[in-house]
Amino acid sequence: MADAAVRSKKPATSKRTPAGGAPTAPHTAEEAHEPRIDVPAVTDLLLGTWADTRREAREMIKDPAFWRIEGMPMAEHRERVMSQLHLLVEHGGSRRAFPEEYGGLNDNGANLAGFMELVLADPSLQIKSGVQWGLFGSAVYQLGTKPHHDAWLEGIMDLTIPGAFAMTETGHGSDVAAIGTTATYDPDTEEFVIHTPFRGAWKDYLGNAAVHGKAATVFAQLITGGVNYGVHCFFVPLRDDEGAFLPGVGGEDDGVKGGLNGIDNGRLHFDHVRVPRENLLNRYGDVAADGTYSSEIDSPGRRFFTMLGALVQGRVSLDGAATTGTALALYIALTYAGQRRQFDSGTGSDEVVLLDYGKHQRRLLPLLAQNYAQFFANDELLKKFDTVFSGKNDTPREREDLETLAAALKPLSTWAALDTIQECREACGGSGFLAENRFTSLHADLDIYATFEGDNNVLLQLVGKRLLSDYATQFKNADAASLAKFAVGQTAGKLFHGAGLRQLGQTVADFGSTARSVELGLRADQQHDLLAGRVQQMISDVAAALRPAAKLSPAEAAALFNAHQAELIEAARAHGELLQWEAFTDGVNRVQDAGTKQVLTWLRDLFGLSMIEKHLAWHMINGRLSTQRAASVSRYIDRLALRLRPHAQDLVDAYGFEPEHVRAPIASGAEKARQDEARAHYAALKASSDAPVSEKSLKKK
């Protein structure tokens, strides 16, 4: 059905566009005499499993007290955001993730779903609340045990104990295992001595560290009996009730940043600060009074990754917040594009609406399709997170899958946010550069999302290593016949569906030659064939290139891996795109309304084809598409964009944003009023006897 629409030979036309004007589709689905999407139903679909919580959060942030004030000085902005955290406490927003015995709601999925929406109010609020309850509070809850919960959770929840999450150091960001801060056990006093032995070991970029934090969860190398047992987490008091640092604790303000200036980021350092032995958050490792270390996890590496895995929710929430922030930019830009007029057809007709121009459709509608894919993928990620953290299915394998999924999706959504917001800003011209229309501050605030909670390239390398591991597992102990059979399957275009390569969606059957697929319009099965086949071949190629490493020295093996690092990261990125496509497809398949399903299928196809177009060179080099068929991909995208033009406003309306969430004058209807006023003025002038004649008309005589 979707394919037939794409291949239609009859171009869509608009009764509004004069002869000689920009070729266009009708402006609305109603004008196009097509089934319209059921906007409320699509809103439910996008809001996902925890739609009620998202709506509750959106209703709360309609209060102007939660809104960012553009241009506010940093010190005032910080205090405003801190006051907003207290408002969140009053609304119960801090309770969702914590145990019921401490006044919590024990609803992990709802907790992240609610916090993601705060980006609409002020990204600084979203991140500072994430620091307090998603990092600092979660470290106490996830890495601590009942005595820690009894001592601190209630104070963390009600903001009596504002805290910092002290993991990152000036000298070590993503490489947590190599941090320099030490926690050396003194059996004589039964205390840990927290110390930063050099400047690079200072804890840095920490929210709540510069002003508000009274305590911190400090990650340090645990040393007892002369043995370093690796990175563990400690609860360390920072300030007294008057806000002064406690003895041995020092710090600096990070000062003005590129964005998120409502958060008091700062540095901390420790000069032999002593804390009780009981302040070790000891869920995964403990030290007895005599200094004996014990852990249920024997492997130091597995213990380390288990502790970090307990804090994966930061990446999950960033994926969702970036997706929602991107949606806001698209809503503003596409609403404006449907109202703003620029240039007439050269025949003296009305000026043309921006979204009627093919280039404007091409620059914004594929980004809209990508954003829809992100919403569906994030809901799958959130469900996986909730299943693990609720204990419903908390196994080492499930945690590893969750970490891989979060590491695959967070880079794509945060990079897409920056690219999309910038494109939306440019698409709105000078109006987009005005702070009141939100693009500039949104871009500045979301910029850091690409590197915190794990640098995007480092996260994708983690994904790539998992894909290689799963690939190798498939051939473990395989005989020559099995390998030969796989090779035959490769040439037949069969797809690899190992656990790491596929976490979402139903199996899509191989419908044969991709050579025929473009001629047929690249239906869902052929899109999947190309996207999944690319991941499979890229991982296969990297695996083959790295195979000699087993016989090399450690230094030579490291050099070989480094030589193929870029290829591995690109394969992981392709894997993330495949997951998004599959999640989008699953979402479309759940739709019952025929008109809604049709439009969302076109949108899914636009996403899939855009991913294929982005990598056309790869598909051609690797013989997946001929030059002629590759060229036709772009033509199909143009047709899909034209087909989706009448549905653009419906699709952004389906985000469910209300005026209090948007707060951008150019998306308020003011532009349409201005355009209508101008058109009425010229119509009246033309009808009167006072209209001047053009110089061109005189020359024609």
Average pLDDT over residues 249-259: 96
525: Cβ contacts below 8 Å, ≥ 6 apart: 508, 509, 510, 511
529: Cβ contacts below 8 Å, ≥ 6 apart: 493, 495, 508, 510, 511, 514, 517
Q: What is the pLDDT of residues 572-629, one digit of tens each?
A: 999 999 999 999 999 999 999 999 999 999 999 999 999 999 999 999 898 888 888 8
3 state SS of 217: strand
* The two structure tokens encoding residue 213: 């934090």
* The two structure tokens encoding residue 456: 């995007």
Look at residue 471 in the predicted model and tell me its pLDDT. 81
d(CA 104, CA 390) in angstroms, rounded, equals 13
Q: Which residue has the tokens 């929602």?
A: 324
Q: What percent of the chain has pLDDT over 70?
A: 88
pLDDT tier, 99 (very low <50, low <70, confident <90, very high otherwise): very high
Q: What percent of the chain has pLDDT over 90?
A: 66
**Is pLDDT larger for residue 517 or for residue 353?**
353
d(CA 625, CA 633) in angstroms, rounded, equals 10
Cα atoms found within 13 Å of the Cα of residue 485, Cβ hemisphere only: 7
pLDDT tier, 497 (very low <50, low <70, confident <90, very high otherwise): very low
pLDDT tier, 18 (very low <50, low <70, confident <90, very high otherwise): very low
Look at residue 495 in the predicted model and tell me its pLDDT. 32
Give the single-character DSSP code of 557. H
Q: What is the pLDDT of residues 394-439, one digit of tens each?
A: 888 888 899 999 999 999 999 999 999 999 999 999 999 999 999 9
Q: Of 300-309, 513-522, 545-554, 604-613, where does mean pLDDT reach its minimum?
A: 513-522
Cα atoms found within 13 Å of the Cα of residue 245, Cβ hemisphere only: 15
Q: Residue count of the chain, please give it.
A: 701
d(CA 377, CA 221) in angstroms, rounded, equals 36
Look at residue 623 in the predicted model and tell me its pLDDT. 86
Candidates 278, 277, 266; CA nearest to 239 is 266
With 70 as the cut, is the pLDDT of residue 218 above it? yes
What CA–CA distances, in Å, run from 367 to 139, 419, 634? 36, 9, 15
Judge whether 580 and 376 are in contact, CB under 8 Å: yes
Helices 439-447/396-427 angle, 10° precision = 150
What CA–CA distances, in Å, run from 662 to 333, 586, 637, 645? 11, 29, 29, 22
With 50 as the cut, is the pLDDT of residue 487 above it? no
Average pLDDT over residues 112-129: 96
With 70 as the cut, is the pLDDT of residue 260 above it? yes
Judge whether 84 and 138 are in contact, CB under 8 Å: no
3 state SS of 275: strand
With 90 as the cut, is the pLDDT of residue 696 above it? no
Candidates 502, 533, 508; CA nearest to 624 is 533
* The two structure tokens encoding residue 252: 């600096």
With 70 as the cut, is the pLDDT of residue 348 above it? no
Average pLDDT over residues 562-568: 91
**What's the CA angle centered on 635, arms 13 and 534, to 5 degrees?**
140
d(CA 330, CA 489) in angstroms, rounded, equals 42
394: Cβ contacts below 8 Å, ≥ 6 apart: 387, 388
Q: Is 269 left (phi over 0), alpha (psi -120 to 50) or beta?
A: beta
Q: What is the pLDDT of residues 266-299, one digit of tens each?
A: 999 999 999 999 999 999 999 999 999 999 999 9
Task: Please count the other Cβ atoms lying within 10 Å of the Cβ belonging to residue 526.
Answer: 24
Q: Of 92-106, 354-368, 393-407, 513-527, where does mean pLDDT reach its minimum?
A: 513-527
> Which ranges constitute the DSSP H helices of 246-338?
300-309, 313-337
Candidates 661, 492, 618; CA nearest to 122 is 661
Q: Which residue has the tokens 């970036």?
A: 322
Average pLDDT over residues 647-659: 96
Beta strands 191-195; 182-186: pairing state: antiparallel
**Is pLDDT larger for residue 630 or for residue 371?**
371
d(CA 493, CA 473) in angstroms, rounded, equals 21
User: What pTM value is reported for the model?
Assistant: 0.89
**Is pLDDT larger for residue 533 or for residue 367?**
367
Look at residue 616 in the predicted model and tell me its pLDDT. 93
Q: What are phi and psi of 280, to 5 degrees?
A: -70, 125
Q: Mean of the per-residue pLDDT values for the chain?
A: 87
Written as one string, the DSSP assignment of 254-273 is: ----SS-TTS--EEEEESSE
Judge whether 353 and 339 are in contact, CB under 8 Å: yes
Residue ranges and CATH numbers for the domains of the chain are: 166-299 (2.40.110.10), 312-684 (1.20.140.10)
d(CA 701, CA 699) in angstroms, rounded, equals 5
Candidates 670, 598, 610; CA nearest to 29 is 598
Q: What is the pLDDT of residues 658-685, one digit of tens each?
A: 999 999 999 998 888 888 888 888 788 8
Judge whether 602 and 636 are in contact, CB under 8 Å: no
Average pLDDT over residues 214-242: 97
Q: Which residue has the tokens 């910092």?
A: 164
503: Cβ contacts below 8 Å, ≥ 6 apart: 380, 384, 401, 404, 405, 579
Start-to-end CA distance of the chain, whole Å, equals 54
**Is pLDDT larger for residue 700 or for residue 636?**
636
d(CA 485, CA 480) in angstroms, rounded, equals 9
With 90 as the cut, is the pLDDT of residue 316 above it? yes
Average pLDDT over residues 513-517: 39
What CA–CA distances, in Å, run from 433 to 327, 370, 421, 670, 690? 18, 24, 11, 17, 37
Candidates 285, 203, 277; CA nearest to 235 is 277
